[in-house]
Structure 1
Amino acid sequence: MPLIVQKFGGSSVATPEKILKAARRAIRAQQEGNQVVMVVSAMGDTTDDLLELAAQVNERPPAREMDMLLSTGEQISVALMAMAIHSLGNKAISLTGAQIGVKTDASYRKARIKSIETSRMRKLLDEGNIVIAAGFQGIDEDFNITTLGRGGSDTTAVALAAVLRADACEIYTDVDGVYTTDPRVVPEARRVSRIGYDEMLELASLGAGVMHSRSIEFGKKFDVPIHVRSSFTDQPGTMIVAEPERPDMAVSGAAITKDEARITVEGIPDVPGTSLEIFKRIADRNISVDMIVQNVGESGKADVSFTVPRNELDAALEAVREGVRIVGAAGITSDDSVAKVSVVGLGMARQTGVAERMFRALAAAGINIQMITTSEIKISVLVRRDEAQKALRIVHQEFELDKEPTTPIEPWTPKSSQSDAADVIARLQGINMEDLTIDDIQLDSKQSRVTISGVPDAPGIAAKVFEQVAAGGVFVDMIVQSHPTSSGEATLSFTVPDEQLVKSVEVAKQVAKSLACKEVTSSPAIAKLSVSGVGLRTHTGVAIRMFKALSDAGINLEMINTSEVRVNVVVDGAAGERGMKQLQQAFSDVMR
């Protein structure tokens, strides 16, 4: 019999009327011949109310007791949902995370799922019950109640769908699917019928509030199709699966991350291990680093810039100052009035000129780009926060994301391969379900680097560079623009295929001369090392492990950029093979 997991968020169960409506939806799914597991969040603002109540009793309550308190919100919801289903003449039973057997680690307020027991749920389903599971919670090995942190109910739902090998995981919320961007900011945003896991991971990390990154990571890791739907209508919603609706589209979505702060460390000695000294201290404080940009050094010195959550800037600066004292950097600057604007799409890995279009659109609007970083499926720029919403609307319009696809969209069909199923089952039998999983470690020795130094800090510079590069038919892979130094100048580097280096240098020199830049340098002997996988966003130590492995081998990092699914570094070409072996060894315990 088919099995469906249905998750209802807090807004979907905020009142008795909404609870009854959700109950009817679950009953209808069961009457259509499915076994049904419901995952329910706390009602409406219950969690916020509990947090406020705790603060009135203790300004710094113990984390264990907070989990004990917060877990009660979901327990109220599941009991009421079971009562509602009984009142409609159907069988249901409510279960807490502990009763299900959701085993977690002991990290209160942000626990990770280690395993889930399925036997009790299977028995209850076979007896004709709708099983109602409390989201957001589990127990550690000492039977202490733990909570999963932000997005925990989504994570619970996708995790249950994985272990039960459900046919679908339906996420019911107050929106009717995933949009090309936030429709509250850009009213013409379009709902997409289907989006890829990697695209959704990038958008989720960029502030697309429909789902949290952890739940998408579960979906990708265990091949769970996720269906985002409205609680209040029968709109078809959006499927989150491996393949997007239009693999040929360069850009499928755009997003802004407003609450960012930027830190720049200037004049770092350009030797192995310096980046590690900085970032390991930040990781020790469990601060999430997002946009890392390190460019090619000059005169034995390099600059590295990165973004952190705005509310963690002070703690991050404290950590950075420790690292600066050790490595002997020249200084630190920071800015808490910045925002990140990004475009995402699987198709951009196969098309030229995508970055140029984005940069040109922003330049035409007079918006200055402070930093640039790219991955295979994402381009991110840092701009002033007060210009971020305008920038989002501009790039959304530039890539015509409001328009429906002109060619028919191939319908999505679930996989049925026995080998794929066996692979998923093998991964489910790992030590911890939320362990970091590295899919691939790659070495690309067929690229060259072009660097323009002394780039003026003014709107339109990047647009002019890449407009000329795109006109020459050059395919640009990795773009890194460092934040301008105190002198008001930046460094812009990009990588191109080896056979296009000469043409790229010619273009760069022409542009540099017209813009009065300092100089153009290049290297035909670079190696790009990449680590990709599932969990890079929520396991903050991936970049650190990468930097340490290369530092231990005496390999210097020339360039760094990061995304939600990949960390890229550029090193000297002669060190490529050795770097590849070091990374394979460093990540051998988490390789898929």
Structure 2
Amino acid sequence: MSLVVQKFGGTSVADAEKIRAAARRALRAQQQGAQVVMVVSAMGKNTDLLVDLAGQVCDEPAAREMDMLLSTGEQVSVALVAMAIHDLGGKAVSLTGGQIGVKTDSSHGKARIQSISTERMQRLLNEGNIVIAAGFQGVDEDLNITTLGRGGSDTSAVALAAVLGADMCEIYTDVDGVFTTDPRVEPSARKMSHVSHDEMLELASLGAGVMHSRSIEFGKKFCVPIHVRNSGVFTDDPGTIIGPLTESSERPVSGAALTKSEARITVAGVPDRPGSSLALFERMAGENIAVDMIVQNAGDGGRADISFTVLEVDLKRALAAVHEAAETLGCESVSHDDTVSKVSVVGIGMATQAGVADRMFRALAEAGINIQAITTSSIKVSCLVGRDRGAEALRVAHGEFELDKAPEGRATFDDCLHAAKRVQGADAAAVVARLSAMEDLTVHGCGLDDSQALVTLSAVPDTPGIAADIFEAVAAHGIVVDMIVQSVGRDGKTAVAFTVPAADVQRAGEVAAEIVARFGGASSVDPGVAILTVTGVGIRSHTGVGSRMFRALTDAGINVELISTSEVQVSVVVEGAKGPAGLKAMEKAFADVIG
């Protein structure tokens, strides 16, 4: 017998009518031969009302008591859904996270799942019940109620699907599926038939609001196919499958996203020596602050600038930690800007098709939008822009790659569904073996690329179009660019660094000289660099990844020259001769989580 997990968000159980509709959907799945587990969120704005009520009682509610309070929202929902199923002639049992056996750590408000017991759920399912599980919650080893934080019900649903070996995890929401971008910003956004776990990880971390990145981490780690569907459409119309396949490998970009509420911190004049990056980001990790877009320019005169973004709500705490580190290091200054947004394009096809960055930079330049910073990965290009131009930048990027049009020759919905089930079935034993630490960081591996050379352009004009001009000139000479980093400008100037194949280093140097002659500034070429990369699941949400990496390199006496980050990897450029030692140090540092 098949088993399906159905998750209903707050808008899908916002009132009695919607609760009964959710109950009917679950009963229909059961009548079609499936065992059904429902994961239910708090009704509508109920969580917000509870938070507001707590604020009326006291200024700083204790984290433990907030978890006790907020968990009641889901308990109301599961009880009402069970009543609705009973009234419709079905059998159902509602369970809190603790009653299920969801064990977490003790980080109130942002707890991580450590294990889930399946015995009680499986017994109830075998007795013909629909099991209705309270999402967003669990208990720690002392039986204190804990909550999982933002997106917690999605995380609960995918985690339950993993431990139960479900055929599918269905996420019911108020949209039809996953779109190429936010349709509220770009009306021409198109629903994708399917999207890969890696692409969705990037999109979710960038603010695509359909699902939270932690739930996608579970999906990828445990090979769970996720079907995002509209709870208001009572047909079998498919939504979007999140699984092993991209919609089309022929198209370089699958989606675009805008992270609106970012804040940028720049530490200028950081000593360019081993340990400087560690000192900064270890303090961030200590405050449990997720650092997103990290940009470190190539050192000049023994100093470098490091910029990174954090969520705007974390800015105050981040600045306090950074000022402390900067004073210890003897940095020149710390500045910040809370009026920035990040626009990104994502696609598996970028790994094999050149020119994506060039096109994005040119499109933004023609719209008169200045790029304040750039980072790239194998499947993502991100640009920091002024918040007042963020929505426009998103629309420009979406239009440049014609994401409103369905790709030719794309795999069908059923192709993706079958592929997801094949991968899931092949890895079932691994799921069981890894339940004891479900949300631990998983590193797929550490890599060394010593085939690249580094080109640095410093003191070039910080004006709209400069990045497009640079990389169109490089592309015109047939040079393939891998890693791109543009640092935050100072005094109307910026620095752009990029890596190219070592075999092209002479031509790249000539192009760099041409660019400097045209725009001003200075250029340098380092033919002997190494790129060290750590790749895995949870790279961003586990705030200690960067500091662990920088600690390993610091202890090995290796200086970091450039940094580039994404949801699934952190890459650094180091001196070429020290690449093998750096790789060895990183593999040792991450040995406990490589798998």
> What amino acid does structure 2 have at the position aligned with 1:541?
G
Deviation at 1:382, TM superposition (A): 0.6
After TM superposition, list the pairs within 5 Å mapping 1:82-231 onto structure 2: 82-231=82-231
2:456·2:496 contact (CA, 8 Å) conserved in 1? yes
* 2:460 and 2:522 in contact (8 A); partners too: no
| Mapping of residues 444-463 of structure 1, within 5 Å | 444-463=449-468
Q: Is the 8 A contact 1:55 1:61 kept in 2?
A: yes
Query: Aligned partners of 1:422, 1:113: CA distance in 2, in Å?
Result: 19
Task: Assess if the C-alpha contact under 8 Å between 1:257 and 1:341 holds in 2.
Answer: yes
Superposed, 1:515-530 pairs within 5 Å as 515-516=519-520, 518-530=521-533
Q: In the alignment, what sits opposite 2:469?
A: 464
Pairing of 1:345-360 with structure 2 (within 5 A): 345-360=347-362
Q: Which residue of 2 aligns with 1:341?
A: 343
Cα deviation digits, residues 156-199 of structure 1 (max 9, x gap): 00000000000000000000100000000000000000001111
Distance 1:407 1:283 in 2: 44
**8 Å Cα contact 2:251-2:407 kept in structure 1:** no
Task: Tell me, in whole angstroms, the C-alpha distance in 1 between the residues paired with 2:478 and 2:350.
Answer: 15
Residue aligning to 1:327: 329
Q: 1:559: which partner in 2?
A: 562
Q: 1:220-299 counterparts in 2 under 5 A?
A: 220-233=220-233, 234=235, 235-299=237-301
Q: Is the 8 A contact 1:213 1:537 kept in 2?
A: no
2:578 to 575, 582, 590: 575
What is the identity, as a one-letter code, of the residue corresponding to 1:305?
S
Partners of 1:542 and 1:342 lie apart in 2 by: 22
Runs of 4+ in 1 over 4 A off after TM superposition: none
Structure 1 residue 419: deviation in Å? 4.7
Alignment partner, residue 421 of structure 1: 428
Alpha-carbon deviations, 1:361-404, whole Å to 9, x = none? 00011111110000111100111100111111001000000011
> What aligned pairs does 1:24-39 form with structure 2 within 5 A after superposition?
24-39=24-39
Letter in 1 for 2:139: I
Distance 1:308 1:416, change over 3 A: closer
What amino acid sits opposite 2:334 in the alignment?
I
Aligned to 1:506: 510
Matched, 1:69 2:76: no
Match of 1:539 in 2: 542
- Residues in 1 aligned to 2:70 and 2:274: alpha-carbon distance in whole angstroms: 45
Coordinate RMSD, CA, aligned: 1.1
Find out whether 1:497 has 2:476 as its counterpart. no
Structure-2 change in CA distance of 1:408 and 1:148 (3 Å): closer
* DSSP 3-state at the match of 2:495: strand
CA contact (8 A) 2:109 2:147 kept: yes
Structure 1's unaligned 5+ residue stretches are none
Per-residue CA deviation, residues 224-270 of structure 1 (Å, 9 max, x unaligned), is: 00000000013310000021111221100001111111111111111
Distance 2:399 2:461 in 1: 27
- Residue-pair matches, total: 588
The answer to whether the 8 Å contact 1:179/1:190 transfers is yes
1:382 aligned partner, one-letter code: L
Q: Distance in 2 between matches of 1:182 and 1:504?
A: 38
CA distance in 1 between counterparts of 2:483 and 2:87 reads 59
Shift of 1:407: 2.0
Q: Distance in 1 between matches of 2:119 and 2:428?
A: 19
- 2:551 is aligned to 548
1:63-89 Cα distance to aligned partner (Å, 9 max, x none): 111111111111111011011001111
In structure 2, what is the Cα distance between the partners aligned to 1:262 and 1:548? 23
What is the TM-score with the length of structure 2 in the denominator?
0.97
Letter in 2 for 1:452: L
* Aligned counterparts of 2:247 and 2:408: Cα–Cα separation in 1: 12
Amino acid at match of 2:162: A
Distance in 1, matches of 2:84 and 2:469, equals: 62
Contact kept? 1:352, 1:473, Cα under 8 Å = no
Aligned partner of 1:301 in structure 2 is 303
Partner amino acid, structure 2, of 1:182 = D
What SS is found at the alignment partner of 1:176? coil
SS of residue paired to 2:295: strand
Structure 2 unaligned runs (5+)?
none
Structure 1: distance between partners of 2:22 and 2:579: 55
Q: Is the 8 A contact 2:262 2:341 kept in 1?
A: yes
In 2, the alpha carbon distance for the partners of 1:393 and 1:473 equals: 29
1:373 aligned partner? 375
Residue pair 1:222, 1:427 contacting (<8 A) in 2 also? no
SS at match of 1:520: strand
Give 1:408 shift: 4.1
Q: Secondary structure at the match of 1:490?
A: strand
| Structure 1 equivalent of residue 594 of structure 2 | 591
Identity of aligned residues (%): 63
SS of aligned partner of 1:416:
helix
Question: In 2, Cα distance between the equivalents of 1:88 and 1:467?
Answer: 64
SS in 2 for 1:37: strand
Alpha-carbon separation, structure 2, partners of 1:77 and 1:420: 33
Alignment-mate amino acid for residue 583 of structure 2: M
Q: Distance in 1 between matches of 2:7 and 2:548?
A: 35
Instruction: Say if 2:225 and 2:421, in contact at 8 Å, map to a contact too.
Output: no
Q: Could you tell me how far 1:508 is from its partner in structure 2?
A: 1.8
Aligned pairs (5 A) from 1:14-25:
14-25=14-25
Q: 2:438 aligns with which of 433, 440, 450?
A: 433
- Give, in whole Å, the separation in 1 of the partners of 2:383 and 2:214: 24
Contact 1:246 1:409 in 2 (8 A): yes
Aligned to 1:590, the other structure's residue is in SS state coil
